């Protein structure tokens, strides 16, 4: 990983706040994943929504990785990055039939997660191969905000609706070439994940022409020192054995697919921010920084933990701080965090800033979104410029009230 001196050099060159991504870490995470599963056909689709910068997509494409997309725009980003459309799977939720048909024209694999659209699509395009997203009703993640396999989830077709699903497939004559599930994020219990996999295997037996089974992702990454994470190697051993056994039962070799996002890019990202002010109240010392939830919303939105390090003064005695932003809302990044003494002007580094950080950034309070930098082969490379005032107004259309009022007065 990048050193503190290298991070400081990025902040000095590109200003703050700024996102930095370590290409070597992304590469090592990808290699660790593909080495964990010993199957003849393995397909990894990176979840674009985690971090959609085109340079990140090009890096992963160079490693042999495909893409998991949830919008036609993400599909187009993948194509712009040079990804073969055959390596892109499109797994939307609640989109129109028209958007799905637009993606079909781009050549991506379609994944449908509701009976209504399945029937409409099958009636109009029975010749186009379709993957089906199943909801196994298994909670594999720990946080209810990021678990999508529960019974009330809007994602996927309930496993209990299989008879209805099969009737649609039979009536339309459509071709089902894949079956998919995603139970949620931060999977800790491999046993629970394997239980959900058995439900998916059972569902797969209903289709005779499958080419792949997609087990989703949601692998947990460590957020602090000593934190637990999904044991990918153990999962690889157990799921490989079961998958190979199923393929023998099924009568042909299928492709084992995953769609990791956070697992590939979370730990590769750092978010650097400058301390604007130290403010002491009767009970708390606040470190106010030059950013807010407009740039990093995960702590406020999900209750996520990001380790915060003072890389400008790392050897100083630690004190307790509440790190807060400059947005006119409550935007606390961490309460009573033990951090080496913070001075005004110091640079703080937030860990695990690669996934669902910049991709969820906004212009709230009319603040500019920050630049993004990739650390590649020992050098910093700008991969997104810092926004400017012109970016804020680029698509706004100003009304001429004086002219409009005169026009209305003349009509009257």
Query: How many other β-carbons are positioned within 10 Å of the β-carbon of residue 172?
Result: 18
Average pLDDT of the segment spanning 394-404:
93
In a domain, 105, yes or no: yes
In a domain, 12, yes or no: no
pLDDT score for 399? 93
In a domain, 237, yes or no: yes
Residues 230 and 85 in one domain: yes
Residues 53 and 200 in one domain: yes
In a domain, 224, yes or no: yes
Q: Which two tokens stand for residue 172?
A: 């339309």
If we measure between CA atoms, which residue out of 148, 92, 85 comes closest to residue 121? Answer: 92
The enclosing domain of 340 has a CATH number of 2.40.37.10
Q: What is the pTM of this model?
A: 0.93
In a domain, 412, yes or no: no
Q: State what percent of residues in the chain have pLDDT above 70.
A: 96
- SS3 at position 260: coil
* Residue pLDDT, tens place only, 241-280: 999 999 999 999 999 999 999 999 999 999 999 999 999 9
Residue 142's pLDDT band (cuts 50, 70, 90): low
Residues 297 and 248 in one domain: no
Least confident of 102-106, 107-111, 179-183, 249-253: 179-183
Strands (E), 136-284: 157-158, 176-180, 212-214, 255-258, 269-280
- Among residues 65, 131, 247, 328, which one is catalytic? 328
Residues 96 and 239 in one domain: yes
- Residue written as token pair 């002010």: 277
Q: How many domains does the chain have?
A: 2
Residue 292's pLDDT band (cuts 50, 70, 90): very high
Q: Contact, 238 vs 203, CB < 8 A?
A: no
Range of the domain at 380: 269-389
If we measure between CA atoms, which residue out of 81, 206, 203 comes closest to residue 134? Answer: 203
Residue 411's pLDDT band (cuts 50, 70, 90): confident
State the distance between the two ends of the chain, measured CA to CA, in whole angstroms.
70
Residues 281 and 241 in one domain: no
Q: Contact, 248 vs 377, CB < 8 A?
A: no
Q: Which residue has the higher pLDDT, 148 or 244?
A: 244
pLDDT surpasses 70 at 84: yes
Residues with Cβ within 8 Å of 152's Cβ and at least 6 positions away in sequence, in order, are none
Residue 49's pLDDT band (cuts 50, 70, 90): very high
Dihedral sign, CA of 14, 16, 21, 22?
positive
pLDDT score for 152? 65
Q: Which two tokens stand for residue 140?
A: 């594999």
Residues 295 and 256 in one domain: no
Residues 187 and 91 in one domain: yes
Spell 22-57 as b/e; 16+ CB within 10 A means b: bbebbbebbeebeebbebeebbbbbbbbbbbbebbb
Residues 343 and 238 in one domain: no
* Residue pLDDT, tens place only, 332-345: 999 999 999 999 99
In a domain, 46, yes or no: yes
Rounded to 5 degrees, what angle do the CA atoms 40, 41, 44 make?
135
The backbone torsions φ and ψ at residue 152, rounded to the nearest 5 degrees and listed phi first, read: -95, 10
pLDDT surpasses 60 at 150: no
pLDDT score for 147? 45
Residue 145's pLDDT band (cuts 50, 70, 90): very low
pLDDT surpasses 60 at 50: yes
Rounded to 5 degrees, what angle do the CA atoms 242, 245, 250 make?
120
Residue 346 is classified by DSSP as P
Dist CA 135 CA 122 (whole Å): 20
Residues 168, 172, 173, 176, Cα dihedral to 10°: -50
Residue 148's pLDDT band (cuts 50, 70, 90): very low
Q: Which two tokens stand for residue 268?
A: 């590769």
Residues with Cβ within 8 Å of 385's Cβ and at least 6 positions away in sequence, in order, are 371
Q: Contact, 159 vs 134, CB < 8 A?
A: yes
Residues 347 and 381 in one domain: yes
pLDDT score for 185? 62
Q: Is there a catalytic annotation at residue 328?
A: yes
Residues 189 and 161 in one domain: yes
* Residue pLDDT, tens place only, 176-218: 999 999 876 677 778 888 999 999 999 999 999 999 999 998 8
In a domain, 2, yes or no: no
- Residue written as token pair 């042999």: 64
Q: Contact, 355 vs 51, CB < 8 A?
A: yes
Residues 231 and 370 in one domain: no
Classify strands 269-280 and 347-350 as parallel, antiparallel or unpaired.
antiparallel
Residues 233 and 283 in one domain: no
The enclosing domain of 179 has a CATH number of 3.20.20.10
In a domain, 312, yes or no: yes
């Amino acid at each position: 990983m990048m050193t503190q001196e290298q991070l400081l050099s990025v902040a000095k060159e590109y200003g703050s706040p700024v996102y930095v991504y370590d290409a070597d870490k992304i590469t090592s995470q990808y290699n660790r994943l593909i080495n964990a599963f010993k199957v003849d056909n393995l397909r990894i689709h990176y979840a674009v929504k985690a971090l959609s910068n085109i340079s990140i997509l090009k890096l992963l494409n160079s490693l042999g990785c495909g893409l998991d997309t949830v919008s036609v725009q993400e599909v187009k980003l993948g194509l712009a990055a040079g990804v073969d459309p055959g390596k892109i799977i499109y797994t939307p939720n609640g989109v129109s039939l028209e958007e799905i048909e637009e993606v079909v024209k781009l050549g991506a694999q379609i994944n449908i997660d509701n009976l209504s659209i399945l029937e409409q699509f099958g009636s109009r395009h029975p010749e186009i191969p379709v993957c089906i997203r199943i909801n196994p009703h298994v909670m594999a993640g720990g946080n209810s905000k990021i678990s999508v396999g529960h019974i009330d989830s809007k994602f996927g077709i309930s496993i209990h609706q299989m008879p209805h699903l099969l009737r649609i497939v039979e009536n339309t004559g459509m071709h089902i070439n894949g079956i998919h599930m995603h139970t949620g994020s931060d999977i800790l219990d491999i046993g629970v994940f394997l239980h959900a996999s058995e439900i998916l295997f059972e569902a797969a037996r209903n289709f005779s022409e499958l080419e792949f089974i997609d087990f989703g992702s949601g692998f947990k990454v460590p957020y602090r020192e000593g934190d637990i994470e999904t044991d990918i190697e153990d999962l690889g051993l157990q799921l490989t054995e079961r998958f190979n056994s199923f393929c023998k039962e099924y009568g042909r070799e299928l492709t084992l697919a995953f769609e990791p996002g956070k697992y590939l890019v979370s730990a590769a990202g750092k978010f650097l921010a400058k301390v604007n002010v130290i403010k002491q109240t009767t009970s708390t010392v606040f470190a106010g920084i030059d950013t807010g939830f407009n740039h990093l919303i995960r702590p406020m939105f999900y209750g996520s933990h990001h380790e915060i390090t003072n890389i400008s003064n790392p050897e100083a005695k630690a004190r307790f701080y509440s790190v807060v932003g400059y947005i006119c809302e409550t935007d606390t990044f961490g309460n009573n965090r033990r951090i080496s003494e913070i001075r005004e002007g110091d640079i703080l580094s937030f860990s695990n800033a690669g996934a669902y950080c910049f991709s969820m950034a906004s212009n709230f309070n009319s603040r500019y979104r920050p630049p993004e930098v990739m650390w590649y082969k020992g050098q910093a490379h700008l991969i997104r410029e810092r926004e400017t005032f012109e970016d804020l107004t680029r698509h706004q259309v100003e009304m001429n009230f004086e002219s409009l009022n005169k026009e209305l007065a003349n009509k009257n």
